[in-house]
Amino acid sequence: MLPRFTDGARTGSGAMTPPIDKILEGDCVERMKALPAESVDMIFADPPYFLQLEDELLRPNNSRVDGVSDAWDQFEGFAAYDAFTREWLGAAQRLLKPTGTLWVIGSYHNIFRVGTALQDLGFWILNDVIWRKTNPMPNFRGRRFTNAHETLIWCTKGRDAKGYRFNYDAMKSLNDDLQMRSDWLIPLCTGTERLKKDGKKAHATQKPEALLHRAILAATDTGDVVLDPFFGSGTTGAVAKRLGRHWIGIERQEDYITLAQERLRTVQVASEEALEVTPSKRSQPRIPFGLVVERGLLSPGDQLYDARRRYAAKVRADGSLVADGVTGSIHKVGAHLQGAPACNGWTFWHFDVEGGDLKPIALLRERMRQEIH
């Protein structure tokens, strides 16, 4: 069957681009099928959990606990839920660029089913991330452990999908210069961040902006397109906009669309300077040492030394070094002289500057990088 919508515009080169910074109303499978293939950099999906709540849950003081009993969370059974999951995941896979990634969040009710479907469809899991809630809802009946986390699965569209974005250094910087781990301690969305209507939660499952901040900052660049097929109150759009990313929301319920539109209108985009993140070393252009020689920053015959002038080597015209009867790359010769298994030649070798000081050759690489950019 042909899709009811065909969303997007044609660029000068004839390629289709999706409609950006908009909420598309309707069923996410239908709407995603109508968007151009391979046009989205990241998808964040917070699908129905299929909680299957039967009885009303009461606190010890008999007040009612807000569970998710909304119509959008109802399915006939696991078979129907699984069929729906495979449908939307298939549509999402088609939309992702080859370098794009998908995040799905869920609880024990659904995340294992989603995980199976993902792997069956050929998605390749990069991480499962535990969102540990600092302020979870207590277990009122005292018959189970407090359910204090949700799981996010982060994946590429296939095993061979290369070149996906992971802003490793930005994540490290966000974590006080320690590698970011896969367990994230983040509070539930409460206080002024929680959208209210007539004094009640406007959406039962509004996610904290901090969670989206981390996912979007980790996996996208400014100007990228982030899509959320289960937009709800628009958390993904709000954070994407603030971080200078484009966003597309899909939502079936009109009242949530109005809520999200209101929310997005007030979000300010951060300044360009504030949005620059610590660049990943791997994303910087690779500079072979030979280029430094070709460019004339060092000449054939120049001497290099280690920081304490214990070792010396001579630069050759092809960008190799010679010392102690051994020739090879800056790394190989450095390792050989020290009797070490490996050596980072860029930080090991130094060149003479006026006044008898030594500077690491990594400075020349930095100069080359700036010239190239």
Ligand X SMILES: C[S@@+](CC[C@H](N)C(=O)[O-])C[C@H]1O[C@@H](n2cnc3c(N)ncnc32)[C@H](O)[C@@H]1O
Applying CB under 6 A, the residues found at the interface with ligand X are 27-28, 46, 48, 72, 203, 205-207, 230, 232-233, 235, 250-253, 256
> Whose Cβ is closer to ligand X: residue 253's or residue 327's?
253
Burial readout 120-146 (b: 16 or more C-beta within 10 A, e: otherwise): ebebeebeebbbebeeeeeeeeeeeee
Contact 371, 294 (CB under 8 A): no
> Whose Cβ is closer to ligand X: residue 147's or residue 253's?
253
Minimum distance, C-beta of residue 30 to ligand X, in the bound complex (Å): 8
E strand spans, 180-302: 183-186, 196-197, 200-201, 225-228, 246-251
Minimum distance, C-beta of residue 156 to ligand X, in the bound complex (Å): 22
Secondary structure (3-state) at 245: coil
> Whose Cβ is closer to ligand X: residue 95's or residue 250's?
250
Minimum distance, C-beta of residue 188 to ligand X, in the bound complex (Å): 11
Minimum distance, C-beta of residue 52 to ligand X, in the bound complex (Å): 15
Strand-pair partners of 25: 251
Place of tokens 């010890």: 60
Minimum distance, C-beta of residue 44 to ligand X, in the bound complex (Å): 8
> Whose Cβ is closer to ligand X: residue 151's or residue 235's?
235
Minimum distance, C-beta of residue 90 to ligand X, in the bound complex (Å): 13
> Whose Cβ is closer to ligand X: residue 242's or residue 350's?
242
Can you say whether residue 27 is alpha, beta or left, with left for phi > 0 and alpha for psi between -120 and 50 degrees?
Answer: beta
> Whose Cβ is closer to ligand X: residue 36's or residue 229's?
229
What is the amino acid identity at position 107? S
Query: Which residue of the chain is nearest ligand X when measured via CB?
Result: 232
Neighbours of 359 (CB within 10 A): 12
